[in-house]
Amino acid sequence: GQNIDQPTEMTATEGAIVQINCTYQTSGFNGLFWYQQHAGEAPTFLSYNVLDGLEEKGRFSSFLSRSKGYSYLLLKELQMKDSASYLCAVRNAGNNRKLIWGLGTSLAVNP
Amino acid sequence: DTGVSQDPRHKITKRGQNVTFRCDPISEHNRLYWYRQTLGQGPEFLTYFQNEAQLEKSRLLSDRFSAERPKGSFSTLEIQRTEQGDSAMYLCASSSTRGNSPLHFGNGTRLTVT
């Protein structure tokens, strides 16, 4: 089967660093995406990894290890507005290139 | 680039009624996806178009659901004989065919079936 696991909830303090992990088992792999979703809003694209290593984009970084089926999203200098759900999604190989989604990690940033 | 737009933002309907939602993707994107999302869950794939061709439809989707993209631009999702279990956020997303192209989501249509 195909499965994506990420923690359900996390809590962190404003100004701190938080790492959100994602592990996946899929029948094919053509890239991993991280999305941010605020309550009642649509998911917003954050990052994409298809090769092993770290991708940095401002306060957000994402890491991928394909051999381990593992990724993490690193958020630095946390702000209150970072309180949201963070969704990990793996793109299937093949023509439809469909995304398989995790259930999301709800991050609460406290002052 | 005005982003993906969906209409309406909210829809309240009585059980048994038909509803239709519209999605206008980013103009240069030829791939269009429909997803459904309920509270605390990730998006659930419904169907996918490349240009005007519907290439895949989820096996979980009943025959009451149908989607079209007649000219390869905007798309409509129709739900016939709505049931209370259809209450959810219906998300449309589009992407290009580039290898690393992410899905860009619209703001969704929130359906409440009473």
Interface of B to A at Cβ within 8 Å reads: 31, 33, 40-45, 48, 55-56, 91, 99-100, 102-108
* Residues A60, A87: Cα–Cα separation, whole Å: 14
Comparing CB atoms, the residue among A33, A96, A98 nearest residue B102 is: A33
Q: Where is pLDDT greater, at B2 or A76? A: A76
- Average pLDDT for B81-88: 96
Residues in chain B closer than 8 A to A98 (CB atoms): 33, 45, 48, 56
Which residues does chain A have with pLDDT short of 50? none
- Give the pLDDT score at A40: 85
* Residues B106, B32: Cα–Cα separation, whole Å: 11
Residues in chain B closer than 8 A to A22 (CB atoms): none
- Give the pLDDT score at A97: 66
Is the pLDDT at B48 greater than 60, yes or no? yes
- Asked if A48 and B105 come within 8 Å (Cβ–Cβ), the reply is no
Using DSSP's 3-state secondary structure scheme, residue A2 falls into: coil
- Average pLDDT for B41-64: 89
- Give the pLDDT score at A27: 80
Q: Which candidate, A56, A61, A74, A70, places its Cα nearest to that of A12?
A: A74
**Average pLDDT score over chain A:** 92
Q: Do the beta carbons of residue A62 and residue A55 sit within 8 Å? A: yes
Using DSSP's 3-state secondary structure scheme, residue B19 falls into: strand
Residues in chain A closer than 8 A to B41 (CB atoms): 103-104
pLDDT, tens only, A86-106: 999 998 776 566 788 999 999
Q: Which candidate, A4, A1, A75, places its Cα nearest to that of A36?
A: A75
Dig out the tokens for B67 from the structure.
């989607």
**Average pLDDT score over chain B:** 92
- Give the pLDDT score at B1: 53
Is the pLDDT at B4 greater than 70, yes or no? yes
